[in-house]
Structure 1
Protein backbone atom coordinates (compact mmCIF):
# COMPACT_ATOMS: atom_id res chain seq x y z
CA UNK A 1 0.00 0.00 0.00
CA UNK A 2 1.29 3.44 -0.86
CA UNK A 3 0.54 6.84 0.63
CA UNK A 4 0.49 9.59 -1.99
CA UNK A 5 1.47 13.18 -1.27
CA UNK A 6 0.43 15.97 -3.62
CA UNK A 7 1.67 19.52 -3.13
CA UNK A 8 1.03 22.47 -5.43
CA UNK A 9 3.67 25.21 -5.49
CA UNK A 10 2.21 28.34 -7.11
CA UNK A 11 4.44 30.63 -9.18
CA UNK A 12 4.20 33.57 -11.56
CA UNK A 13 7.14 32.56 -13.74
CA UNK A 14 5.43 30.90 -16.66
CA UNK A 15 5.98 27.28 -17.61
CA UNK A 16 9.33 27.64 -19.42
CA UNK A 17 11.04 29.75 -16.74
CA UNK A 18 9.75 27.54 -13.93
CA UNK A 19 11.02 24.46 -15.79
CA UNK A 20 14.43 26.11 -16.33
CA UNK A 21 14.76 27.00 -12.66
CA UNK A 22 13.73 23.56 -11.44
CA UNK A 23 16.23 21.95 -13.81
CA UNK A 24 18.97 24.28 -12.54
CA UNK A 25 18.18 23.65 -8.86
CA UNK A 26 17.25 19.96 -8.72
CA UNK A 27 20.79 19.03 -7.70
CA UNK A 28 20.23 20.77 -4.35
CA UNK A 29 17.44 18.31 -3.50
CA UNK A 30 19.91 15.81 -2.06
CA UNK A 31 21.01 18.10 0.77
CA UNK A 32 17.40 18.49 1.97
CA UNK A 33 17.00 14.74 2.50
CA UNK A 34 18.60 13.19 5.60
CA UNK A 35 20.79 10.13 5.37
CA UNK A 36 22.84 10.81 2.26
CA UNK A 37 20.18 10.59 -0.43
CA UNK A 38 20.79 9.60 -4.02
CA UNK A 39 18.50 11.31 -6.55
CA UNK A 40 17.99 10.43 -10.20
CA UNK A 41 15.97 12.64 -12.50
CA UNK A 42 14.57 12.48 -16.03
CA UNK A 43 12.46 15.04 -17.90
CA UNK A 44 9.48 13.76 -19.89
CA UNK A 45 7.98 16.85 -21.48
CA UNK A 46 7.03 19.19 -18.61
CA UNK A 47 7.21 16.42 -15.98
CA UNK A 48 10.38 15.69 -14.03
CA UNK A 49 10.42 12.08 -12.82
CA UNK A 50 12.51 11.49 -9.71
CA UNK A 51 13.91 8.41 -8.03
CA UNK A 52 15.03 9.09 -4.47
CA UNK A 53 16.95 6.61 -2.30
CA UNK A 54 17.82 7.33 1.33
CA UNK A 55 18.20 5.31 4.51
CA UNK A 56 17.52 2.07 2.66
CA UNK A 57 14.22 3.33 1.24
CA UNK A 58 13.29 4.16 -2.35
CA UNK A 59 10.67 6.74 -3.28
CA UNK A 60 9.24 7.68 -6.67
CA UNK A 61 8.22 11.29 -7.20
CA UNK A 62 7.45 13.72 -9.97
CA UNK A 63 7.20 17.45 -10.51
CA UNK A 64 4.80 18.58 -13.22
CA UNK A 65 5.42 22.14 -14.36
CA UNK A 66 2.38 24.17 -15.35
CA UNK A 67 1.95 27.84 -16.30
CA UNK A 68 1.11 28.98 -12.75
CA UNK A 69 2.12 26.06 -10.50
CA UNK A 70 4.54 23.21 -10.06
CA UNK A 71 2.77 20.08 -8.83
CA UNK A 72 4.82 17.72 -6.69
CA UNK A 73 3.63 14.12 -6.40
CA UNK A 74 5.33 11.59 -4.11
CA UNK A 75 4.45 7.93 -3.54
CA UNK A 76 5.46 6.71 -0.08
CA UNK A 77 5.60 2.94 0.22
CA UNK A 78 5.26 0.82 3.33
CA UNK A 79 6.33 2.31 6.64
CA UNK A 80 7.20 5.65 5.03
CA UNK A 81 3.46 6.25 4.73
CA UNK A 82 3.40 6.90 8.47
CA UNK A 83 5.65 9.90 7.83
CA UNK A 84 3.38 11.43 5.18
CA UNK A 85 2.40 14.52 7.20
CA UNK A 86 5.95 15.63 8.12
CA UNK A 87 7.22 14.82 4.62
CA UNK A 88 4.39 16.85 3.07
CA UNK A 89 5.22 19.74 5.41
CA UNK A 90 8.89 19.56 4.40
CA UNK A 91 7.95 19.56 0.71
CA UNK A 92 5.69 22.61 1.19
CA UNK A 93 8.49 24.37 3.00
CA UNK A 94 11.39 23.50 0.67
CA UNK A 95 9.79 23.14 -2.78
CA UNK A 96 9.76 26.90 -3.44
CA UNK A 97 13.58 26.76 -3.28
CA UNK A 98 13.51 24.89 -6.59
CA UNK A 99 11.94 27.96 -8.22
CA UNK A 100 14.59 30.43 -7.04
CA UNK A 101 16.76 32.07 -9.67
CA UNK A 102 20.27 31.21 -8.54
CA UNK A 103 21.88 32.62 -11.70
CA UNK A 104 21.62 36.17 -10.29
CA UNK A 105 24.00 37.19 -7.54
Structure 2
Protein backbone atom coordinates (compact mmCIF):
# COMPACT_ATOMS: atom_id res chain seq x y z
CA UNK A 1 0.00 0.00 0.00
CA UNK A 2 1.40 3.42 -0.91
CA UNK A 3 2.40 5.88 1.79
CA UNK A 4 -0.26 8.49 2.48
CA UNK A 5 0.09 12.10 1.40
CA UNK A 6 0.27 14.23 4.55
CA UNK A 7 -0.11 18.00 4.70
CA UNK A 8 0.07 20.00 7.92
CA UNK A 9 -1.12 23.60 7.92
CA UNK A 10 -0.50 25.81 10.97
CA UNK A 11 -3.11 28.35 12.04
CA UNK A 12 -3.88 30.77 14.88
CA UNK A 13 -7.65 30.48 14.84
CA UNK A 14 -8.29 27.97 17.58
CA UNK A 15 -10.01 24.65 16.93
CA UNK A 16 -13.63 25.86 16.77
CA UNK A 17 -13.01 28.64 14.24
CA UNK A 18 -10.81 26.38 12.10
CA UNK A 19 -13.55 23.72 12.00
CA UNK A 20 -16.15 26.36 11.13
CA UNK A 21 -14.06 27.67 8.24
CA UNK A 22 -13.27 24.20 6.95
CA UNK A 23 -16.92 23.16 7.03
CA UNK A 24 -17.86 26.27 5.07
CA UNK A 25 -14.95 26.24 2.66
CA UNK A 26 -14.11 22.66 1.65
CA UNK A 27 -17.04 22.03 -0.65
CA UNK A 28 -16.51 25.43 -2.25
CA UNK A 29 -12.78 24.71 -2.73
CA UNK A 30 -13.47 21.29 -4.27
CA UNK A 31 -16.01 22.77 -6.69
CA UNK A 32 -13.31 25.08 -8.08
CA UNK A 33 -11.28 22.04 -9.25
CA UNK A 34 -13.12 20.65 -12.32
CA UNK A 35 -11.61 17.14 -12.18
CA UNK A 36 -12.40 16.66 -8.47
CA UNK A 37 -15.64 15.23 -7.08
CA UNK A 38 -16.38 14.86 -3.37
CA UNK A 39 -18.10 11.48 -2.83
CA UNK A 40 -18.26 11.71 0.98
CA UNK A 41 -17.64 14.38 3.61
CA UNK A 42 -18.47 13.34 7.16
CA UNK A 43 -17.53 15.11 10.38
CA UNK A 44 -16.90 13.23 13.62
CA UNK A 45 -16.13 15.92 16.20
CA UNK A 46 -12.86 17.57 15.03
CA UNK A 47 -12.16 15.06 12.25
CA UNK A 48 -13.52 15.13 8.74
CA UNK A 49 -13.51 11.83 6.89
CA UNK A 50 -13.72 12.12 3.12
CA UNK A 51 -13.71 10.25 -0.14
CA UNK A 52 -12.92 12.04 -3.37
CA UNK A 53 -12.67 11.09 -7.01
CA UNK A 54 -10.30 12.60 -9.57
CA UNK A 55 -9.58 11.43 -13.10
CA UNK A 56 -11.76 8.37 -12.46
CA UNK A 57 -9.68 7.35 -9.43
CA UNK A 58 -10.96 7.25 -5.82
CA UNK A 59 -8.96 8.47 -2.84
CA UNK A 60 -9.88 8.59 0.82
CA UNK A 61 -8.52 10.26 3.91
CA UNK A 62 -9.23 12.49 6.84
CA UNK A 63 -8.54 15.95 8.21
CA UNK A 64 -7.80 16.43 11.90
CA UNK A 65 -8.26 19.90 13.35
CA UNK A 66 -6.16 20.91 16.37
CA UNK A 67 -5.94 24.21 18.23
CA UNK A 68 -2.93 25.37 16.20
CA UNK A 69 -2.81 23.25 13.03
CA UNK A 70 -4.80 21.18 10.56
CA UNK A 71 -3.44 17.83 9.39
CA UNK A 72 -4.68 16.22 6.19
CA UNK A 73 -3.87 12.61 5.40
CA UNK A 74 -5.02 11.03 2.15
CA UNK A 75 -4.15 7.74 0.49
CA UNK A 76 -3.87 8.16 -3.26
CA UNK A 77 -4.21 5.32 -5.78
CA UNK A 78 -1.12 4.62 -7.87
CA UNK A 79 -2.34 6.70 -10.83
CA UNK A 80 -2.80 9.81 -8.68
CA UNK A 81 0.53 9.25 -6.88
CA UNK A 82 2.17 10.88 -9.90
CA UNK A 83 0.42 14.15 -8.98
CA UNK A 84 1.18 13.96 -5.24
CA UNK A 85 3.70 16.83 -5.19
CA UNK A 86 1.41 19.14 -7.15
CA UNK A 87 -1.57 18.13 -4.98
CA UNK A 88 0.41 18.72 -1.78
CA UNK A 89 1.38 22.24 -2.86
CA UNK A 90 -2.18 23.09 -3.96
CA UNK A 91 -3.69 21.74 -0.71
CA UNK A 92 -1.25 23.72 1.37
CA UNK A 93 -1.89 26.93 -0.60
CA UNK A 94 -5.71 26.65 -0.48
CA UNK A 95 -5.63 25.58 3.15
CA UNK A 96 -3.51 28.58 4.10
CA UNK A 97 -5.93 30.91 2.32
CA UNK A 98 -8.90 29.34 4.07
CA UNK A 99 -7.28 29.43 7.52
CA UNK A 100 -5.65 32.87 7.34
CA UNK A 101 -7.96 35.12 5.35
CA UNK A 102 -10.27 37.44 7.25
CA UNK A 103 -13.98 36.61 7.22
TM-score (normalizing by structure 2):
0.85
1:97 positional shift: 3.1
2:62 is equivalent to residue 90 of structure 1: no
Q: Which moved more, 1:40-49 or 1:75-84?
A: 75-84
Provide the residue aligned with 2:41 in structure 1: 41
- Separation of aligned partners in 2, 1:14 and 1:8: 15
For the residue of structure 1 that corresponds to 2:9, the secondary structure is: strand
Aligned length: 102
Q: Which moved more, 1:92-101 or 1:42-51?
A: 92-101
Gaps of 5+ in 1: none
- Separation of aligned partners in 1, 2:57 and 2:3: 14
- Separation of aligned partners in 1, 2:14 and 2:59: 28
Provide the residue aligned with 1:54 in structure 2: 54
Gaps of 5+ in 2: none
The Cα RMSD (Å) is: 1.8
2:75 is equivalent to residue 75 of structure 1: yes
Provide the residue aligned with 1:28 in structure 2: 28
TM-score (normalizing by structure 1):
0.84
